[in-house]
Structure 1
Amino acid sequence: MAGGVVPVDASPIGNGFVGKITLSVIITCIVAASSGLLFGYDLGISGGVTTMVPFLEKFFPDILRKVAGTEVNMYCVYDSQVLTLFTSSLYLAGLVSSLAASRVTAAWGRRNTILIGGVTFLIGGALNGGAENIGMLILGRVLLGFGVGFTNQAAPLYLSEIAPPKWRGAFNTGFQFFLGVGALIAGCINFATAKHTWGWRVSLGLAVVPASVMTIGALLITDTPSSLVERGKIEQARKALRKARGSSIDVEPELEELIKWSQIAKSMKQEPFKTIFERQYRPHLVMAIAIPFFQQMTGINIVAFYAPNIFQSVGLGHDAALLSAIILGAVNLVSLLVSTAIVDRFGRRFLFVTGGICMLVCQIAVSILLAVVTGVHGTKDMSNGSAIVVLVLLCCYTAGFGWSWGPLTWLIPSEIFPLKIRTTGQSIAVGVQFIIIFILSQTFLSMLCHFKFASFVFYAGWIIVMTIFVIFFVPETKGIPLESMYTIWGKHWFWRRYVKDVEQENLP
C-alpha cells in the first residue's frame, strides 16, 4: 500500500518538502474521515426517530396526546424538555469527552483516540437499540456522546497532519463529507423503518454499523508521523512517512523537521491549557472559540435534528417529512463535494462569505413565508405548496452551509495551531461546539414554540455577525504548511498586534 505510486501533485511546498498525493494518503484519510459517519448518523437519526409513533408511545406519550389536540399551535407540538434531553444529552457527554480527549490524543495518538471513540459509540448504539426505559435511552446517548467527542477531536487533526499542504483543505473536508453521508443514510433508514413498531430500535441500533466500519478501518492504518514523533516513536514515524510520501521520496529532511519541532514543543514545560491563553496565541484561541460557536449559530444542526418535526408540523405529513429530511441530506452531500473541489482553489474566506450570504437570504425568506402563511400564532394550516416552498428554501440554506461553515469549521481549527497546543486547541474547538449544540438542542423546540417564525430571524441575525467576522478577522490559510502557519497572524491587520515579532515566533 505504501510504495511507488504516481503523484497527483509534486510541487514544492513552503517548507521545501515535496507535497504529493499517494495511495496510502488517500486510504488513510478515507478511514480517518469515516469518523464523521458517527456524528452524521446520529444527527440524521435522532430527528426521525422522535416522530415515530411507537417510539413516542413508549417513551413520550404526552406528545401524542398534544398532537391529538383539537387546536394545535404548529410550533409547539414537539415542545418537551424530556424529548430534547434525549437528543441533547449526547452533546453534553461529547463536551466532557472532548476535553479529556486532548490529553488522550497527545499521549496515545490520533489513531488510538479514534479507536476508543468507535468502540464507545458502538456500545452506546447497542444500548439505544435495546432500550426499555428512559434511563437506558439516555445512558446510550451519553456513551454515543463520549464516542463522538473522541472522534471529533482526533479525526480532523489526523487529516490535517497527514495530508499534503496544497490539498489539505480537500482532504479535511472528507470528515464533513462522511458526516453528510451518515446523515443521509440515517434519513433513508428512518424512512424505511418508520411504519414498523420495532422501526425505532432498528434506526437507533444500526449506529453500531458505522462504528464497526470506522473501528475496523482504524485498526488497519498507522498514526500520523507528527503524533508518532511527539510520542518518541521515531522509527515508526519514518515508516509512516515513507508510506505517506511514497518509496521514491527521501523522507529524512521532513522527519528531522518534525523531530525539531517536537523537541521545541516538549521544552516548553508549561501546561498546554495555560500556554494557549498567552497573548501570542490570542488569535488561535479566538478562532478555536468563534468558528465552532458561529457554525452552530447558523442553526444548521437544529434543522438537521428537527427537520422531520418541522416538516411534519408545517403540513407535509409523516412520510413526506422523513423524505424531506433525506432530500436535505442529499443536498448537503452535493454541496460538500462542491466545497471539496474548490476549497484549495478559491480559499476558505471565499466559501465562508458566499455560504453566509446564501444562508442569510434563505433564513429571512423562510421566516417571512411562515409568518404570512401560518399567521402570527402559527395556528393557520399551511398548504402543501407552501410547505414545499419551505423545503426548497431550506435546501438552498443547507447547500450554502454545506460548502462553507460545514467543512471549514473542522478544517480551520485543525490547521492553525502550532504543535505544542494543537490537541488542546482542537479540544477547545470541539468542546465549544458541543456546548452550543447542547444549549441549542435543549432550547430550540421551546424557542420555536415561543418565537415561532422569528426563530429563523434569530439565526439570520447571527449569520450577519459571523460573515462580518470572517471578512475582517479570519485570515486565508489556503496552501500554507502547518509549520509555517504562524506567518498569517503577523501579516493580518488586527492580529499582528498580538504577534510582536513574527520571525521570533516561528515555534511549533
Structure 2
Amino acid sequence: MEFRRGVKSPLADDSNDCGLAFEEVRATLTKMQFTDKAILDAELVGGTASRSYVILVGLFAALGGFLFGLDLGYISGVESMESFSDDVLHGETMRPITTGTVTGIFALGAVIAAFPAVISFVVDLVGRRGCMILGGATFCVGATVQGAAFTLNTILCGRMIAGFAVGLLSANVPLYQGEIAPPEQRGTIVALYQLAITMGIMVAFWTNYWLQPEKHGWRCSILLQLIPGGLFAMGATFMPQSPRWLVSRRRYKSALETLRRIRGKNDDVRIELVECYKEYRRERSTGKPNYVEFLTGESGKVLCIGILLQLLQQLCGLNVFMYYGPTVFKKIFHTQGASFLFAALSGLVNFLSTFPALCLVDRVGRTTLLLFSACGMTICCVILAAVGDACFSSGTIDSCGTISKYAMAGAVFMDIFNYAYGWGPVVWIYCAEIFSLKYKTKANGLTTGANWVGNFLIGFSPPWLMEKIGFKTFWIFAAINLLAAIVSCRLPETKGKSLEEIQVLFHTWLHGKEVPAELFLCTDDEVSETDSDSDL
C-alpha cells in the first residue's frame, strides 16, 4: 500500500524512494512525543475539510489585501473633491509636494510595520492570525481618524496609522496563505491577495466617482472602510493558525489538528507535518537566528532577490495610475468628469485582469508570467512617453486631437492589464515561497518593507516629476520594466513544489550544482532531540 505524497508502508517496494517511508514517518512522530496509536499506526490520517475550504480561508485572508486596495485607491479621488478642499484645505490648492506627502505618508507607516524587528515581534507574540486581527483593528482606527479630520495634519496622522495596519497585513497575509495552501493550489491562493487589492482599488475608485458631487462625499468614502475593516478583524478570530508557525513554536499537536482542519480526507497530514518538522529541525541545527547569517551567505542572496522583486513591482509605474489616476486622466482629457470616470474604469480593468493570474500561475508558472508582464508594460510605457510628450507637452487641449487622447488612455489600460496578471500577484506569491522557515518572518518583513519604500517613492515623486518633465516620466518606467524583464529570465521556477522542495531548488540554483534533498532534512540524531517546552 502507498500513502499520499510518497509515504509508503514497510511492505511496499523498497525501490520506491520517491518520498518518506511509512516507518520513518512513524518513528519521527514518536520522537515528536506522539503516543496515540490511531495516529501512529493508521494507514491514512486524513483531513476533514472539503477541497474548497482552504480556498475559502485564503479568500477571507485576502480581505487584508482589500483593505490595502481601499486605502491605496481612495486618496487620489478624495484629494480632487471640492468637499475635501472646503473642509480640510479651506479652499486652498495643494502644492505637488503636499500632495506627495499626503499620499506617501501611508507607505511610511507601512514601512515601519514591515520592519523585521517590528513584524517579527508581533508575529512571535500573537502569531500570524493574531497579526491579522491587530492589523484589521488598527486599520479601523486609522479610517476613523481620517474620516473625522478637519485639518491636513489629522489626515496625515490617520493615513500613517492606516499605513501601519496595512504594513502588518501585507507582511503577513501572503505568508499565511502560502503556509496553509497545498503546493498545487498555493499560487492561486496567494494570488487572491493581489486580486483583493485590485478589488479594493476598484471599489474605492467607483465610490469616489459616485460620491464626489456630495457635500461630505470625501468623509463617506473614507468611513465606509470601517465596514470591511471591522469584518476582517472579527472574522480573523475564527481562522486556523498557520501549521508551520505552530511547528516553529513547537506546538506539534496543534499543528497536526490544524492540518486536519484544512486538508482533505485523502491527504495524509502526517507527511506534511513531518516534512515541516524536519525542515524546522534542520534550520535549528544551524544555530539560533542572527542578523549576520540572515543578511549574508545563501540567506542574504535569496533576500536580495526578494527585495529586488518587491522594488521592481512598485517602481514599474503602475501605482502612478492608482494614486494619481484622476490627475493623469485630467491631463489627457482636461475635464473633471472624464478624469473620475476613466480612473474608475482603470480600477475595473485592474480587477478583471487579475483573474488570468489565478488560472495560469500554477499552470504556466511564475517566471513566464513575470516575463510577459514586464515586456508588455515596457511597450505601454514607451507609448505613453512618446505620444504624451509629442501631443501633450504644450498643455493645450487639442494638441493632437481625440485619437491621441484615446491612444493614451488605451496604453494606460493595457499597462494595468499587463501588471495585473503578472508583476502584481506573482511577486507576492514568489516572496511567500522562497524563504526558509528560520528567517521567513524577518525576510518577508524586509522584502515587504522594500515594497513600501518603492510605494513611498511612487506616491511622493510623480506629482513633482509630472510637473517638471511631463509624460517624459514614463521613459523612466520603461527602463525599469525592461530591467524587470531581464530579471524574470534569470529566476528559478517554483510552481508545483512544496515549500521544503523550494529550499533545495534555490540551494541548487545559487551554487550551480544539484544538491541531494537529504541534505535539507535533519538526521535521525537531530530528530531525536526533543523539545522540553513542547505542548505535547
Return the TM-score normalized by structure 2.
0.84
1:475 is matched with: 492
1:40 is matched with: 69
Q: Report the residue type matching 1:487 in the other structure.
A: V
| 1:55-112 CA distance string (max 9 Å, x none) | 1233346764xxxxxxxxxxxxx75212221111110010001111133224421111
Deviation at 1:327, TM superposition (A): 1.2
Deviation at 1:317, TM superposition (A): 1.8
What does residue range 237-386 of structure 1 map to in structure 2 within 5 Å? 237-247=255-265, 249-375=267-393, 377-379=394-396, 381=398, 383-386=401-404
On the 8 A contact 1:127/1:205 being kept in 2, the answer is no
In 2, Cα distance between equivalents of 1:166 and 1:205: 39
In 2, Cα distance between equivalents of 1:310 and 1:270: 50
Q: Does 1:424 align with 2:442?
A: yes
Q: Does 1:496 align with 2:500?
A: no
User: Judging changes above 3 Å, is the alpha-carbon distance between structure 1 residues 263 and 310 closer, same or farther for their aligned structure 2 residues?
Assistant: same
On the 8 A contact 2:180/2:242 being kept in 1, the answer is yes
Deviation at 1:311, TM superposition (A): 0.7
Q: Report the residue type matching 1:125 in the other structure.
A: A
Q: Report the residue type matching 1:403 in the other structure.
A: Y
Q: Does 1:506 align with 2:524?
A: no
2:57 is matched with: 28
Q: Report the residue type matching 2:51 in the other structure.
A: T
What does residue range 148-187 of structure 1 map to in structure 2 within 5 Å? 148-187=166-205
1:94 is matched with: 110
2:14 is matched with: none
User: Judging changes above 3 Å, is the alpha-carbon distance between structure 1 residues 15 and 204 closer, same or farther for their aligned structure 2 residues?
Assistant: farther
Q: Report the residue type matching 1:81 in the other structure.
A: I
In 1, Cα distance between equivalents of 2:398 and 2:126: 56
User: Judging changes above 3 Å, is the alpha-carbon distance between structure 1 residues 104 and 505 closer, same or farther for their aligned structure 2 residues?
Assistant: farther
Q: Report the residue type matching 2:502 in the other structure.
A: M
1:70 is matched with: none
Root-mean-square deviation (CA, aligned residues, Å) is 2.4
1:6 is matched with: none
On the 8 A contact 1:36/1:179 being kept in 2, the answer is yes
| 1:125-179 CA distance string (max 9 Å, x none) | 0111111111211111011011001100110001111111012111110000001
On the 8 A contact 1:378/1:452 being kept in 2, the answer is no
Which stretch shifts more, 78-87 or 421-430? 78-87
Which stretch shifts more, 207-216 or 165-174? 207-216
On the 8 A contact 2:83/2:215 being kept in 1, the answer is yes
In 2, Cα distance between equivalents of 1:36 and 1:442: 22
1:51 is matched with: 80
Q: Report the residue type matching 2:70 in the other structure.
A: Y
1:82 is matched with: 98
User: Judging changes above 3 Å, is the alpha-carbon distance between structure 1 residues 384 and 123 closer, same or farther for their aligned structure 2 residues?
Assistant: farther
User: Judging changes above 3 Å, is the alpha-carbon distance between structure 1 residues 60 and 15 closer, same or farther for their aligned structure 2 residues?
Assistant: farther
Q: Report the residue type matching 2:62 in the other structure.
A: A
% same residue? 26
In 1, Cα distance between equivalents of 2:474 and 2:91: 27
In 2, Cα distance between equivalents of 1:504 and 1:249: 23
Q: Report the residue type matching 1:486 in the other structure.
A: Q
In 2, Cα distance between equivalents of 1:295 and 1:114: 23
Deviation at 1:458, TM superposition (A): 0.7
Report SS of the residue matched to 1:294: helix
In 2, Cα distance between equivalents of 1:229 and 1:389: 54
Report SS of the residue matched to 1:345: coil
On the 8 A contact 2:380/2:414 being kept in 1, the answer is yes
On the 8 A contact 2:179/2:242 being kept in 1, the answer is yes
User: Judging changes above 3 Å, is the alpha-carbon distance between structure 1 residues 265 and 469 closer, same or farther for their aligned structure 2 residues?
Assistant: same
Report SS of the residue matched to 2:239: coil
Deviation at 1:180, TM superposition (A): 0.7
Deviation at 1:254, TM superposition (A): 2.2
User: Judging changes above 3 Å, is the alpha-carbon distance between structure 1 residues 205 and 487 closer, same or farther for their aligned structure 2 residues?
Assistant: same
2:502 is matched with: 485
Q: Report the residue type matching 1:97 in the other structure.
A: A
In 2, Cα distance between equivalents of 1:113 and 1:432: 20
Q: Report the residue type matching 2:520 in the other structure.
A: N
1:75 is matched with: none
Deviation at 1:319, TM superposition (A): 2.1
Deviation at 1:388, TM superposition (A): 2.5
On the 8 A contact 1:261/1:419 being kept in 2, the answer is yes
In 2, Cα distance between equivalents of 1:371 and 1:44: 26
Deviation at 1:264, TM superposition (A): 3.6
Gaps of 5+ in 1: 1-9, 65-77
Q: Which has the larger radius of gyration?
A: 2
In 2, Cα distance between equivalents of 1:500 and 1:207: 50
User: Judging changes above 3 Å, is the alpha-carbon distance between structure 1 residues 167 and 53 closer, same or farther for their aligned structure 2 residues?
Assistant: same
On the 8 A contact 2:388/2:472 being kept in 1, the answer is no
Report SS of the residue matched to 2:439: helix
User: Judging changes above 3 Å, is the alpha-carbon distance between structure 1 residues 362 and 264 closer, same or farther for their aligned structure 2 residues?
Assistant: same
On the 8 A contact 1:315/1:381 being kept in 2, the answer is no
Q: Does 1:397 align with 2:407?
A: no
User: Judging changes above 3 Å, is the alpha-carbon distance between structure 1 residues 368 and 507 closer, same or farther for their aligned structure 2 residues?
Assistant: farther
In 1, Cα distance between equivalents of 2:521 and 2:107: 34
User: Judging changes above 3 Å, is the alpha-carbon distance between structure 1 residues 266 and 488 closer, same or farther for their aligned structure 2 residues?
Assistant: closer
Deviation at 1:350, TM superposition (A): 0.9
Return the TM-score normalized by structure 1.
0.89
Q: Does 1:195 align with 2:209?
A: no
1:5 is matched with: none
User: Judging changes above 3 Å, is the alpha-carbon distance between structure 1 residues 507 and 250 closer, same or farther for their aligned structure 2 residues?
Assistant: closer
In 1, Cα distance between equivalents of 2:66 and 2:275: 34
Give the one of 139, 145, 149 matched to 1:127.
Answer: 145
Deviation at 1:502, TM superposition (A): 6.0
On the 8 A contact 1:21/1:164 being kept in 2, the answer is no
Which stretch shifts more, 253-262 or 201-210? 253-262
In 1, Cα distance between equivalents of 2:6 and 2:473: 49
Gaps of 5+ in 2: 8-17, 21-43, 523-536
2:34 is matched with: none
In 2, Cα distance between equivalents of 1:63 and 1:339: 43
In 2, Cα distance between equivalents of 1:21 and 1:173: 20
Deviation at 1:381, TM superposition (A): 4.4
